[in-house]
Amino acid sequence: MKQTKGKKRRRLTTVFVLFLVLFWAWNNYTLCVNRQTIASGKITAPFRAAVVSDLHESVLMPAVVRRVARCEPDLIFVPGDLYTDDGRGQVDKAVAFCAQLAAIAPTYFVCGDHDHEQSYYDALREVGVHVLDSVCETVTVNGNAIGLYGICKVWFPPEYSLGSTFPPPDASRFNILLSHLPAMERFADFPLDLVVSGDSHGGVARLPFLGGLIYDDVLLPKLFYHGAIYDKGLFEVGGCRLFVTAGIGSYPFPLRLFNRPEVVLLQFEGEDNHEL
């Protein structure tokens, strides 16, 4: 009798541990595609941009390429942190990954706080990636003129502002900034329509009622962070929209919870097409 009870307990423990392992793996190593509509009177014909961020040399790289290809985006935005340390193997892997993205659609990159090296930027340019290191490019997509700005900047000197980096934008275009950090206070003097950022990893774990677990190195930011929390999704900041992706990889530990690795498909459309 005792032996049977012991066997039953061991079996239940095994099933519970197995469930926890599978649940952890599902949260950290399965990829989803999330869609976000961006409507504007400046958009005359719909187009789509895939956002791929914060891979931290994730094992999901091949899956990301497949999913992005299936989405058939017109543009691809990569706001940084493709690798964590600057060992050559990781840089090469990140460059090969971006080359595959660039074969799908024009790919625009800005660095994160981990992957910033001049030789890396050069290697990305060689495989056809547009490195927006304080650069603006005008892109025409489905007849829409888009101003694409990018900054490879993750530490801002006190005097830094976007207005002192770029000439004033053409307000008739839809102007997008790629910046790893959603440092909206640095961009306030520059009229943009959209900022696309990463970095936050969506708060890593998302808890009921409390939101993200970590933001800007603060635990339980909803309770203890003094300032605006831009950790995941679409925000409106001073007349400009900000989209922050939760990204794909993990650093330093794979502790995502209810916050699966995501490729985001931004669906741009005119205000008339937008169904409210």
Q: Which of residues 46-65 bind Fe ion (CB under 5 A)?
A: 54
How many Å apart are CA 233 and CA 218, to the nearest integer? 19
Minimum CB distance to Fe ion smaller for 81 or for 269: 81
3-state DSSP helix/strand/coil percent for the chain, to nearest 5?
A: 25, 25, 45
Question: Which residue has tokens 């956002």?
Answer: 51
Closest-by-Cβ residue to Fe ion is 81
Q: How far is the CB of 57 from Fe ion (least distance, A)?
A: 11
* Number of residues lying near Fe ion (CB under 5 A): 2
Asked if 182 contacts 216 with a C-beta cutoff of 8 angstroms, the reply is no
Q: Between residues 81 and 193, which has the closer beta carbon with respect to Fe ion?
A: 81
Which lies closer to Fe ion via its Cβ, residue 54 or residue 269? Answer: 54
Indicate whether 115 belongs to the interface with Fe ion (CB under 5 A): no
Name the residue nearer to Fe ion (CB basis): 39 or 196.
196
Using CB under 5 A, pick the residue from 50, 77, 81, 109 that binds Fe ion: 81
User: What are the backbone angles phi and psi of residue 133, rounded to the nearest 5°?
Assistant: -95, 85
Q: What angle do CA 109, 141, 171 make, to 5 degrees?
A: 85
With contacts defined by CB under 5 A, name the span among 74-82, 157-165, 181-189, 226-234 that binds Fe ion: 74-82
Strands 206-207 and 211-212 turn out to be: antiparallel
Binding residues for Fe ion, rule: CB under 5 A, are 54, 81
